[in-house]
Structure 1
Amino acid sequence: MVTADAPEDSDALTIGRRIRQLRTGRGMTLEELASRIDRAPSQLSMFETGKREPKLTLLQAIARALGTTIDALLEGGPLDERSAMEISLERAMKGQTFQALGIAPFRIAKTVPSEALAAMLALHGEIERLRDERAATPEEARRANVELRHLMRTQDNHFAELETKAAEILAAVRHPGGPLTQRTASEIAAYLGFTLHYASDLPQTTRSVADLANGRLYLSSGVHAKGDARTAVLQALSSRILGHGEPHSYAEFLRQRVETNYLTGALLVPEAHVVPVLQDAKHRRAISIEDLRDAYSVSYETAAHRFTNLATRHLDIAVHFLKVHESGTITKAYENDDVNFPTDRLGSIEGQLCCRRWTSRVVFDVEDRFNPYYQYTDTGNGTYWCTARVEPSSEGLHSLSVGVRFDDTKWFVGRDTGNRGVSKHSVETCCRRAPVELEERWREHSWPNVRTPRTLLATLPTGSFPGVDTTDVYEFLEAHSPG
């Protein structure tokens, strides 16, 4: 404990090691220094090991005996490597990891090799990393998702600071408006100090790799069938524009992903250009996600996301968005229109089964994949209208849908649809329970073997960049570095 006479930022361990460092540097034994300050060697030893902290008057006596100043004993400069390791290990021994393992603190003798100290510190660091990894559970992910969704709802999924950042970047490269071309994406990269390089051996776990030392951005030389070369470039650059660093929690990792995708969308579909277009479409009662997609040459998912960013703030329309896997599992969701999505006990929507009668599930059974599907759905808290599409992905088919309350349907193309549905998923018998006759016939005579998603039981990806094999990344950079 720091005494009232000593500075708060100079702890007993550091002061003690600095005394020992100066003493041994002068070739002085413990007994010799103890004699000069009129103290017992055992007492001085307790000071040097940090078990006790000398008062200011005794520190002055020690400083005089060592031919130095009290400031030298209290300075915040680095200790020698051995002393620094000893202090780190002693602090570790007082921490939760050593206590949880039942390892009692021990005296670090001079005879303990420095290599042994380094090995113990490395093992301690790895145990801490594994503890953090085990803490990154699906429950943590759900909590982080819920917190982020609440934030998005409170600000109507509109991030003004990211819109401003996108406008600044587009102004810097003199983008005139309309669809952002691949050449403009390259100009943004050049403006940020990057050259683009396409490689056939990009690590499997990455979409892009930035060599910050040499200002090179590597992308795959093969674009996925539904991929967009601009999106890959802009997503990589968005992380640099926003100054993202290594995430220290899953919540931070998730927030970074949302910010990256948001800024990418704001660059592809600039707020200043698209808002007048949407306002005109509302005036004409002809809002269409397809038209937004086509006008800016983006994916349907990007157009749908971008609409949710701007609809409430600029059109005064509350909305919801769903991305649902063909298995029925909700993978992305947003709402500020009071729609009643299924949630778990933590309030998380992602990972829940979407009602079989909701537009996002019904659309999978529609043969016409060329035109959008529209449906009105009566729910326990009102009627909603949705427009939906099915698109392929690396994980299978997904439906993407945007919906509004009945009163806002008048602004949209597709409001005259005759498709109707009734969803009462808050009631057990809506779709989560089989009809009574079927259940009575088969409940005691069936045993399905569940196909458990591997992500359900696994911990979340961990490491400096979750989900990325950093060894592959570093080997790739080593092979491609111009140095």
Structure 2
Amino acid sequence: MPGTDLITLGRRIRHHRRERGLTLDQLGAKVGVVGSQLSLIENGRREPKLSLLQALSVELDVPMPDLLRDEAPDERTALEIELAKAQAGPLYSALGLPVVPASRSLPMETLQSLVGLHRELDRRARQSIATPEEARRANTENKAGMRERANYLPDLEQAAQDALASVGHTTGALTHRSVSLLAERLGFTLVYVDDLPHSARSVTDLHNGRIYLPPASIPGGHGLRSMALQAMGHRILGHTPPESYAEFLQQRLEINYFAAACLMPLEQSVRFLQAAKQRKDLSVEDFRDAFGVTHEAAALRMTNLATSHLDMRVHFLRVGEDGAVYKAYENDGLPLPTDVTGAVEGQQVCDKWAARGALARTNRTTEFYQYTDTPVGTFWCATQTGSMSDQGEFSITFGVPFADAKWFRGRDTQQRRVSTCPDESCCRRPSSELAERWSTAAWPSAKLHAHILSPLPSGKFPGVAENEVYQFLERHAGTLS
């Protein structure tokens, strides 16, 4: 009986046996098995043969389809089944506690309490705090998956094309009106408010069909069009509330990709980039300006399309003013710094790299170009800088191996550095002269990054304070006209 839930089947047999006032031994004698074997079946620990099930069906006067139904016959049996499944699961087993049999002598109130405790235990496990370590592990897994796919996701490209076709968008930059029309097709109205919960970039009211957004673009590139598209992406891509932090990050990756594919549509983007490559004049700046997006969004979109449509391997970096990696993708072999788990986020990039050097420039109106010699080869890159009020300055780098630099504007740069990282003598280890002079005389006070110690708020959606969101929705629900 493939797919049969043995615990539910066993409890249904027990229910009907008790209804007829039979003991295990009495029923066992009628169907030709010993009572102890029947007990194993009722407890879901042994699968009965079809012939035995047929005999039980006859003796209990219950049609076979009824005996095999998935539903519990009454409330108590449903609780017994839930308790048995919970105690057989890995979450309870890992505690090393004894199993409490759901016997007939167990009071109903006790059974309800035990099941309630297991539900809460499961809820807390599913909504466990997302630690920085967990975030790095999940990010590393996502990054490896993207590398295997050359940073290109055809299914999301198609979803974006279908969405644009549904509102008649064929060419040019995607307008706010087209974004609003797409929202309407999905049953939503875009509403701009100035009191969004501090932990949320947007809030979707599924009950009243509203997507709440801030009244203006957030500094740093999260434009209103992109934020609205990301919110709609959850619905279009069929997302359900994430059951793990890894799933949450995967969904975040997918909605960001979807939004970028809408703002920079596949056909138009590839045509633009291939023409620029043919002229040997590829440039993130031009791509950015052609579609009216941020520099970071343009660089990421080029990262998505370069391998599949331009036949080149690339790397992308977002680096903070302290030299730490915020975001990175590569499939060109660039030796990114990693920790012992393979995570990149939070690691320091070499100070010889353009991602660091660009932040030291006085004139930052144009991209900064550089060749960098590394232990695994020479890479060319273009870097632009920006700033955010809450994160300070940062740099965005898009680069390729030396052989593909010929396709890009800035390939004739004379800027060239040599990096021997991860060799610590490159930029991390002080010279012996400096170490001798200052090692016993220096006592710096480190700048503590609060986010390193602070876990994300727990809940259905990591990083979002649920009570704040629900109060916000309740407050605005009353304004519906």
Band the TM-score falls in, shorter-chain normalisation? 0.7 to 0.9
What is the TM-score with the length of structure 1 in the denominator?
A: 0.87
Q: How does 1:22-101 map to 2 (within 5 A)?
A: 22=16, 29-30=21-22, 34=26, 46=39, 50=43, 63-64=57-58, 66-101=60-95
Residue 449 of structure 1, CA deviation: 4.2
Aligned to 2:463: 467
Question: Equivalent of 1:126, from 110, 117, 120?
Answer: 120
Is the CA contact 1:384–1:404 (under 8 Å) kept in the aligned structure 2? yes
Please report how far the alpha carbon of residue 286 of structure 1 lies from its aligned counterpart in structure 2 after TM superposition.
Answer: 2.0
Q: CA RMSD in A?
A: 3.2
Name the structure 2 match of 1:267: 262
Q: Distance in 1 between matches of 2:109 and 2:60?
A: 29
Aligned to 2:203: 209
Contact 1:133 1:459 in 2 (8 A): no
Q: Shift of the alpha carbon at 1:43? A: 6.6
Query: What is the CA–CA distance in structure 1 between the aligned matches of 2:404 and 2:22, rounded to whole Å?
Result: 84
Q: How does 1:68-467 map to 2 (within 5 A)?
A: 68-110=62-104, 112-131=106-125, 137-226=131-220, 227-393=222-388, 394-459=390-455, 462-467=458-463
Q: Answer with 47-56 or 321-330: which moved more.
A: 47-56
**C-alpha offsets along residues 106-138 of structure 1, whole Å, 9 cap, x if unaligned?**
333546443433332232233344455669554
Look up the SS of the partner of 2:211 in the other structure. Answer: strand
Summarize the Cα distance change of 1:36–1:64 in structure 2 as closer, same or farther, 3 Å threshold.
farther
CA displacement at 1:70 relative to structure 2 = 3.9
Supply the AA of the counterpart residue of 1:364.
L
Report the alpha carbon displacement of residue 441 of structure 1 after superposing the two structures with TM: 1.5
CA distance in 1, matches of 2:377, 2:53: 76
Determine if contact 2:9/2:42 at 8 Å carries over to the other structure. no
Farther off after superposition, 298-307 or 400-409: 400-409
CA gap 1:450/1:106 in 2 versus in 1, 3 angstroms: same
CA separation in 1, counterparts of 2:38 and 2:54?
Answer: 17
- Counterpart residue type for residue 193 of structure 1: G
Residue 461 (structure 1) shift:
5.5
Q: Give, in whole Å, the separation in 2 of the partners of 1:187 and 1:77.
A: 44
User: Taking structure 1 as reference, are residues 282 and 81 closer, same or farther at Cα in structure 2, changes over 3 Å only?
Assistant: same
Larger mean Cα displacement after TM superposition, 149-158 or 125-134: 125-134
Q: Distance in 1 between matches of 2:307 and 2:35?
A: 73
Alignment check: 8 A CA contact 1:359 1:374 kept? yes
Tell me, in whole angstroms, the C-alpha distance in 1 between the residues paired with 2:335 and 2:87.
51
CA distance in 1: counterparts of 2:45 and 2:295, whole angstroms:
67
Cα deviations by residue, 1:62-108 (Å, 9 ceiling, x for unpaired): 55555433443332233322211112112333444444444322333
Alignment gaps of 5+ in structure 1: 1-6
* C-alpha distance in 2 between matches for 1:298 and 1:208: 19
Q: Which amino acid aligns with 2:449?
A: P
The letter for the 2-side match of 1:334 is Y
Partner of 1:4: none
Residue 177 of structure 1 and its aligned partner are, at CA, apart by 1.0
CA distance in 1, matches of 2:141, 2:91: 29
Give the gaps of 5 or more residues in structure 2. Answer: none
Distance in 2 of aligned mates of 1:335 and 1:409? 16
Once the two structures are overlaid, the 10-residue window that deviates more, 471-480 or 323-332, is 471-480
Q: Given residue 43 of structure 2, which amino acid in structure 1 is its aligned partner?
A: G
CA distance in 2, matches of 1:65, 1:315: 72
Instruction: Confirm or deny: 8 A CA contact 2:312 2:404 kept in the other structure.
Output: yes
Q: CA deviation at 1:146?
A: 2.9
Query: Distance between the aligned counterparts of 1:327 and 1:43, measured in 2?
Result: 69
Tell me the TM-score normalized by structure 2.
0.87
Q: For the residues of structure 1 that align with 2:294 and 2:411, how far apart are their CA atoms? A: 23
